[in-house]
A and B are shown apart, each in its own frame.
Chain A
Amino acid sequence: MTLIDIFDPKARPTPIGIDLGTTNSLVARVRDGKPFVIDDCNGERLVPSVVHYDARGGTTVGHAAKRLAQAHPRETIVSVKRFMGRGADDPETRRLGPYEFMAPSTPEEAKSVRFQVRGRAVTPVEVSAELLKELRTSAERELRSVGPAVITVPAYFDDAQRQATKDAGRLAGLEVLRLLNEPTAAALAYGLDKQQNGLFAVYDLGGGTFDITVLLLDDGVFQVKSTGGDSALGGDDMDRALAGRLLAEMGVEGATEPEVVRLALDLARDVKHRLTESPAVEVEIPVAGSADATRQITVTRDEFDALVAPIVERTGVACRRALRDAGVQASELTGVILVGGSTRVPFVRSYVARIFGKEPLGDIDPDEVVALGAAIQADILAGSQERADEVLLLDVLPLSLGLETMGGVAEKILPRNTTIPTGARQTFTTYADNQTGFDLHIVQGEREMASDCRSLARFTLKGIPPMPAGLARLEVTFRVDADGLLSVTAKELTTGVEQKVEVKPSYGLTDEQVEEMLLAALDHGEEDLEQRRLVEGRVEADRVLLATRKALAADADLLEAGERERVEEAMTALEQAMKGTRAGVLQRRIEALDEATHGWAGRRMDRAVARAIAGRQVEDLESEVAHSKGVDQHVAEHRANAGGGG
């Protein structure tokens, strides 16, 4: 098998699945229909999500970086996921930690946290991109050619956090096929492996995030019923709680040097891990004010449990709400799947058993299952036909989307737990005479007031023709794609002139900024970027041509007069462009083929829909036949009775 991988020059790039975790990250792929985690160069499967920035401007990632964290706490970013998509004033920046943050000098900069590392600003997107590059390198070592990627995100990630993750993928030079929710990925890997149907809860407590998802597994359909969580709750908080206690034992109070904080956090994590097996552990802590002196203290599991109980109990609120949103009782669950390293903590396990009234399933590796699910999804999306027919993932929007209305109230446009992709339309009118602009503020969250929700985007629809108040009609359309990402369009309807504005929720980095960073990261800038666009263009062209050929084989009868010629012409032109070296030409030819197949694609979709409906109507017909038989019988009996009476 491996030989073929190496020697087949036409081998298709292998799609990969990435679990970009708070504490550890993994990359996996599917081989012979089964998912496997890919080892890094040291034969390790888990890559610590740690990035160290050295004095020469280089980076070190993973185990090596983790070892540097102690000596260089400010230059080594740990648990960057906690900062993804968060603003400079986010409470997360004020928790116990060794970092220094750049003060924002413009409102634009304030939208994203920026670490101050060796005098320069580093955003969480850039740090995450370093992690992803490392994983890509591991994948390249094992695979001849690395294909597109599915990256997992906590189900409870909001739009900004998702967008940030996707941009990190792009910055790492990956084609991001899909953002997949971590609990759904876990359910996919578990469900396909065990071939079990039923209603499951996935309890995912990682290093920095918590998700609870209730979903139905039904013959390859993975339908998420509800999801909930907290994107700032995880094992790191347990470490902080315990580190606080250790610092007190050391005699350290209040703010202290980053080295000491880092040490306390690392010791706490170690104690937490050891307490999984032992009821009490000893730990050596330095004595404040003396360079080398240490002393030994004992931490018992009971003490630890008491420290973390308030943290773990916060998950219970989300669990109960998820069950309620799904409209199910805990007793109806077939099983509870545990995901994330923090579910190894005995107190967490017993708490989960208490909340759901049953012992969680024990035969799943909580560290690897998410990456395995991501690899399966990548394999399906990249065209594994048999799987595609068998598997269907129906996920949901985790947090309500809304607009700020008069008085600062957030009006929900799309409620949480709506199946994605989804969309909604809302019309608004002007409130003042001759008003020519209209402000829209899009928010995400469950709170009543817009100011308490996450602000995703503000934009002004301009150029409304002057008219009396209440006459202009503005239609705002929300669309959430299968990644859970929002796009908004708005148009003015009355004048017949359609005004259209596209917005992408901003979390601090614009498309242009990402592009610039990409450019800066490459050795030969423009040249490399052109080369990369060409390679990506060829991959896309290949895919589009393949899809078109398949469509020609199946649905050529739906082509209208002259259409076939136009399609074939566009295909030939694209094939020519693939041999060339100009990315721009390639892109235009891809678009031309797109254009040529557009009307036909609509007709093919209509046919597929008609078939899907017809498949069912045969059964409907049968039941109608049965029903009409009943009526006939009834009529016959009635006649018989009437005959008997007469």
Chain B
Amino acid sequence: MNDPFATLGVEPRFGLDLRAVEQRHRELSRTLHPDRYAGAPAAERRLALGRAIEVNEAWRVLRDPIRRAEALVALAGVTLREEAAPKADPAFLMEIMELREELSEVARKKDRGRLAALAGQVRAREEKALGALGALLDSGGDDAKGAAKDVEKALPHLAELKYFRRFLDEVSAIEEDLTDALP
């Protein structure tokens, strides 16, 4: 994976004006989209296709906070491997387990009100984790070493965010089932 920030020509930071990045994605798409190369020689078409794919992929990474954070972590030289992924603390894991239990109960009872409340609760937690993650990733540290340390400190928040994401995905799936079951 190439550096998505460089591909879109934006500063590598967590806090980005996504509307400006989207605009940049469009401008680059106008330049590189295969439609612009329909009449070009085959080699040039392949080249443009590869670069258009890169631009689309970069935008897909940057618009997603989790993948954006992972890209920043990779840029800081910290390798994320599945077996070495940061472990969330046991208290947090307990809490997630309890939330999950509640979720399956809500799904069983088809309780839309409680489902929405539960989703709201987790979204608020997600918001908070995003704030903490952003502050650490964009701290800039006192020097390169300090910045790398802050990136390390950001990793648990990243792990938490993944749990929240999975939880909210399940909420959507349940919402979908409940809605589609309506006459």
Query: A residues bordering B, Cβ < 8 Å?
Result: 177-178, 221, 223, 317, 320-321, 324, 380-383, 388-389, 392-394, 418-425, 479, 481-482, 543-544, 546-548, 590-591, 593-595, 597-598, 601-602, 605, 608-609, 611-613, 615-617, 620
Contact = CB atoms under 8 A, between A and B. Distances in A.
Given A388-B35, A393-B35, A548 B53 contact: no
A383 B35 CA distance: 10
Given A421-B34, A422-B56, A482-B35, A598 B43 contact: yes
Most chain B CB inside 10 Å of its own CB: which residue of A422, A590, A611: A422
Nearest to B54: A423
B179 A543 contact: no
Interface string B46-64: 0111011100110110000
A421 B52 contact: yes
A462 B90 CA distance: 45
Nearest to B27: A612
Given A320-B179, A543-B39, A613-B24, A423 B32 contact: no
A593 B176 CA distance: 54
A48 B48 CA distance: 39
A609 B44 contact: no
Contacts of A547: 39-41, 44
Contacts of B44: 547, 594, 597-598, 601
Interface of B: 1, 9, 20, 23-24, 26-36, 38-44, 47-49, 51-53, 56-57, 59-60, 172, 176, 179-180
Contacts of B32: 605, 608-609
Nearest to A617: B9
B179 A178 contact: no
B28 A612 contact: yes
A425 B41 contact: no
Contacts of A597: 41, 43-44
A343 B38 CA distance: 34
Label chain A's interface by main secondary structure.
Answer: helix
Given A317-B180, A546-B39, A595-B43, A392 B26 contact: yes
Given A423-B57, A590-B41, A597-B43, A394 B179 contact: no
B26 to A, nearest CB: 6
Contact of B27 (A419, A591, A615): A615
Nearest to B182: A316
A578 to B, nearest CB: 15
Nearest to A424: B57
Question: When A and B form their complex, which 7 residue pairs have the shortest distance between CB atoms, in order from nearest?
Answer: A613-B9, A381-B38, A482-B34, A601-B44, A423-B53, A594-B43, A612-B27
A418 B51 CA distance: 16
Contact of A482 (B33, B57, B180): B33
A392 B47 contact: no
A605 B49 CA distance: 11
12 contacts: A324-B172, A383-B38, A388-B36, A392-B29, A418-B60, A421-B34, A421-B52, A422-B53, A548-B41, A598-B43, A605-B51, A613-B27
Most chain A CB inside 10 Å of its own CB: which residue of B43, B48, B52: B43
Given A382-B38, A383-B39, 15 more contacts: A178-B35, A317-B180, A421-B34, A421-B49, A422-B53, A544-B41, A591-B42, A594-B42, A594-B44, A595-B43, A597-B43, A601-B40, A601-B47, A602-B47, A611-B31
A154 B160 CA distance: 40
Contacts of B36: 388
A423 B172 CA distance: 26
A146 B28 CA distance: 32
Given A320-B179, A594-B41, A598-B44, A420 B35 contact: no
Contacts of A620: 20
A601 B41 contact: yes
A419 B53 CA distance: 9
A270 to B, nearest CB: 31
Contacts of A481: 34, 49
A143 to B, nearest CB: 19
B25 to A, nearest CB: 9
A611 B59 CA distance: 18
A219 to B, nearest CB: 10
Contact of A609 (B28, B42, B60, B180): B28
A30 to B, nearest CB: 15
A321 B180 CA distance: 9
Most chain B CB inside 10 Å of its own CB: which residue of A177, A388, A419, A424: A419
